[in-house]
Structure 1
Amino acid sequence: MNDKKSKKEQKTSFCPVAGKCGGCQLQNMTYERQLGFKEAKVVKLLGKYCHVDNIIGMEHPFHYRNKVQAAFGSTRGGKIISGVYQSKSHRIVCIDRCRIEDRKADEIIVTIRSMMPKYRMTAYNEDRGTGFLRHVLVKRGFKSGEIMVVLVTGTVVFPGKNAFIKELLEIHPEITTIVQNINNSDTSMVLGETEKVLYGKGHINDSLCGCVFGISPKSFYQINPIQTEKLYNKAMEFANLTGKETVIDAYCGIGTIGIVAAKEAKQVIGVELNRDAVHDAIANAKLNDTKNIRFYCADAGEFMVDMASNGEKADIVFMDPPRAGSDKAFLSSVVTLSPKKIVYISCNPETQARDLSFLVRNGYKVRKIQPVDMFPHTAHVECIALLTRVK
């Protein structure tokens, strides 16, 4: 690539708040260079275990985030602003449009901000703990097109609520449901415990890999559905299910991987510590009429040790831990259960490398590694590893 072309491509990718936001660390690289950078990172960390397949990128790596979250505040002059927190601070960078966020979600957030003065609606002040609107969260179903708007407020009282909702729906009739989430705690957590459905059913549906999933304000759902389908399809390819297997879906969340796997497995057991997520997972299994899956609210590691103690076996374990990876107790429990295969999906190849080292020392061999670019223009890379038991 010549320098002239490289500079031109860097210029066209420039974001006006790049220096403040900090969200898209690689945006001044061409997308091809980003993919090369991420693949090289995975090779460096995991290449000693086996060959690393070429990274799976996006055909159109923009506006992929189906979940958009905006913090609200005010300038010293009293102007209401919304956007993201500046890197390593709690100062809000005002953003109207973002090249990786869903366009419609951005439009709705800007509309809400512009309506606030008319309804004498104040933005929350973190320092004083006063004000009304703290955050707006918009989730959009990629295939269903359904849109959920969550208004996170500092108080239960919502002045002019009915008129505000009516006008918002007149401007954006595409909105499926509106929820008020009350968060009056001095916390960095976005969502509070209490919710009130203001319009619609309080959740939306979307489909993934031929299955339907309900998405609530608090439920975790992958933010890039196009790449998630590629990720899950590759994970199923690695698992190579025949219909005879007992599968464990550890860290199962709302049941996405387990329900997809249940189409090809004999039975699936999903284990998750978050009670709300388990509730959503059970509802999702019913939504898909999936009868060969069970969900348990438990620590996945302890659950697998109990299975082994009772003489029960699993053929495959799917594990998709948080960025911190798995702790030694969990990995030891996997080894104790001794499945024939482990499909390890990671959002952090550094902690995945550490965990693979433990599993390799305890009777497993890494057979395949597949990086997937789930978050274009950021430094993050997802990675699937297939391990098989060798002793």
Structure 2
Amino acid sequence: MKKEVIVTIDHLTKDGVGVAKIDKKPLYVKNCFAKEKVRVCIDYEGKRNLYGHIQEVIEKNKNRVQPLCSVYEQCGGCHLSFMDYQSQLQWKQEIVKKIYEEAGLNQIIVHPCIGMDYPYAYRNKVQTPVQNKKKKIIAGFYKENTHDLVAFDYCHVQSKESNEIIRAVILAMQENKIPAYDEDKQTGVVRHLLIRQAKQEWMLVLVTAMDSFPGRNHFVQSIRKKLPHLTTIVQNINPRKTNVILGEKERILYGKGYIVDTLLSLSYKISPKSFYQINKIQTEKLYQKAIELAELSKNDIILDAYCGIGTIGLSAASYVHQVIGVEIVKEAIKDAINNAKFNHIQNCFFYCEDASQFIVQDDNHFDVVFVDPPRKGCDFVFLDALIQKKVKKIVYISCNPTTQARDVAYLCKNGYTFNEVYPFDMFPQTYHVETIVLLNLKDVKK
């Protein structure tokens, strides 16, 4: 029988996990507020740490709520659904402040986290694996840090239409005897379902383990009959034994193979592999704040570093003389160039290069640099180039406040100043938070 203990949670980690102490060892427990008194079942005891799960909340925080999701604790995809939404936003503001303090940046303002009016149904992209289980086909999400699939009836962070598409495709698979792929036996057909949404357009991508399979045409006809609103259906072929979801080869089974969305009045073609922000509502708020902070002028030349498909640079193009975007992913740069053409924007130029190498070698003087790096942040080659070029303004957008704070601290030691951080809740119900910082070169007027 596993050991049970009663503890009071001291604080939450940056990942939203509660921490208590037992005999000087930290005990990590999910789904709890700081200061709550809880009965915990110890699941694992290591040399330095303990891990457990809540059996009973003895003294509840007044802002604790019952999560909408029936498989919330098993799935692990949403980390904070036990909090009411205002508590989630407050916690994210506090955790950003703590991260910056740990980086030695104390005398700053961390603004309240910008949230959503309705913090559900915000995902415009859903990827769900499918499996055969007890003679049934199920779709779901992998339990955190495992390959155990947790089936769901309805995922509340994705749209009603996405939920309907998943149910209809599973039913069509069963009716047409199209088996799910079995990773262990390497048999079966369908590995994943990928759904993308744009305005009133929907894309379904069937990720299969083989190119051709019996009954494909009838299968597609069945899906279309059940889902007449689908804009396009694409087959992606991934025969490899890998955790990577998408393969190299694609075939359009219905429609044009892409959908079109608008973001800040610009239109974007979205294909199965296009990088595109998952929460459109919050992305528009994020970009509007970034452009506002930059205080752009018609003579400015700006660099959009780590530009992806060009959404930030294209959104800023009408305010400036010229935009140069750089991104290392070849497919993303192709999309960026096509997006500029699609929107008849002629002052944007995109290059497929490593951002650090590009800025070191490029002779342009940039008035403003927009930086939106991956979670690992910027490398010192890139930061040193910004410092050497004496870029007047840097608008740093980040999906990882820890690496952003590290980079901002380095820039502040080398000629830059800042005093405000703006958090945005791009992924409600999770611990993730996105942040914007404006850095100004010292002795340069705004």
TM-score for both structures, normalised by structure 1: 0.94
CA displacement, residues 306-358 of structure 1 (integer Å, 9 cap, x when unaligned): 12xx3x21011101111111122222222233211000000111111111111
* Distance (Å, rounded) in 1 between the aligned partners of 2:121 and 2:91: 21
Using the TM superposition, give the Cα deviation of residue 117 of structure 1 relative to its aligned residue in structure 2, in angstroms: 2.1
The whole-number CA distance in structure 2 between the counterparts of 1:291 and 1:171 is: 42
Gapped runs of 5+ residues in structure 2?
1-57
Q: Does 1:253 align with 2:308?
A: yes
Distance 2:421 2:62 in 1: 33
Q: Distance in 2 between matches of 1:261 and 1:5?
A: 47
Contact 1:71 1:134 in 2 (8 A): yes
1:1-391 equivalences in 2 (<5 Å): 10-11=65-66, 13-46=67-100, 48=106, 50-75=108-133, 77-141=134-198, 144-307=199-362, 310=363, 312-390=364-442
TM-fit CA distance, 1:165: 1.4
Shift of 1:367: 3.8
Q: Quick check: 2:324–2:348 contact (8 Å CA) kept in 1?
A: yes
SS across alignment from 2:418: strand
Deviations 1:256-307 (A, max 9, x none): 0010010111100000111100000001001111100000001111111112
Q: CA deviation at 1:108?
A: 0.5
Separation (CA, whole Å) in 2 of partners of 1:177 and 1:70: 18
Cα distance in 2 between the residues matched to 1:5 and 1:235: 39
Amino acid at match of 1:302: Q
- Return 332-341 or 250-259, whichever deviates more: 332-341
SS at match of 2:269: strand
* 1:4 shift after superposition: 11
Secondary structure, aligned partner of 1:380: coil
Runs of 4+ in structure 1 over 3 Å off: 3-9
- Note the alpha carbon deviations across 1:35-73, whole angstroms, 9 max, x for none: 100000111222625212221110111110011111011
Hey, what does 2:15 align to over in structure 1? none
1:164-220 deviation digits (Å, cap 9, x = unpaired): 212211211111011000001111111001000111111111001111111110111
1:277 alignment partner, SS class: helix
Distance change (3 Å), C-alpha of 1:353 and 1:200: same
Rounded Cα–Cα distance in structure 2 between residues aligned with 1:211 and 1:99: 28
Report if aligned partners of 2:313, 2:325 keep a CA contact under 8 Å in 1: yes
The corresponding residue for 2:48 is none
Query: SS of 1:106's equivalent?
Result: helix
Determine if contact 2:69/2:154 at 8 Å carries over to the other structure: no
Relative distance call for 1:49 and 1:262 in structure 2 (3 A) is: farther
If you compute each CA radius of gyration, which structure gives the higher value, 1 or 2? 2
Task: Tell me which protein shows more helix as a share of its residues.
Answer: 1
Contact 2:257/2:271, CA 8 A, preserved across alignment? yes
- 8 Å CA contact 1:249–1:319 kept in 2: the answer is yes
Give secondary structure in 2 for the equivalent of 1:214.
Answer: strand
Which structure carries more relative contact order (alpha carbon 8 Å, separation 6+)? 1
Please tell me whether the aligned partners of residues 66 and 223 of structure 1 are also in contact (alpha carbons under 8 angstroms): yes
Larger relative strand fraction = 2
Matched residue type, 2:154: R
Counterpart CA distance in 1 for 2:400 and 2:124 is: 21
Report if aligned partners of 1:247, 1:316 keep a CA contact under 8 Å in 2: yes
Deviates more, 1:327-336 or 1:199-208: 327-336
> SS at 1:352's partner residue?
helix
Secondary structure, counterpart of 1:116 in structure 2: helix
**What's the offset of the Cα at 1:368?**
2.8
Rounded to whole Å, the distance in 1 between the matches of 2:65 and 2:237 is 42
Separation (CA, whole Å) in 1 of partners of 2:348 and 2:303: 10
Q: CA deviation at 1:228?
A: 0.5
Q: How many angstroms does 1:5 deviate by?
A: 11
Structure 2: which amino acid aligns with 1:88?
A: N
Give the paired residue count. 382
In the superposition, the TM-score normalised over structure 2's length comes to 0.83
Q: Secondary structure at the match of 1:263?
A: helix
SS at 2:109 equivalent:
coil
State how far apart, in whole Å, the 2-side matches of 1:49 and 1:333 are: 26
Counterpart-to-counterpart distance in 2, 1:362 and 1:111: 57
- 2:250 is paired with a residue whose SS is strand
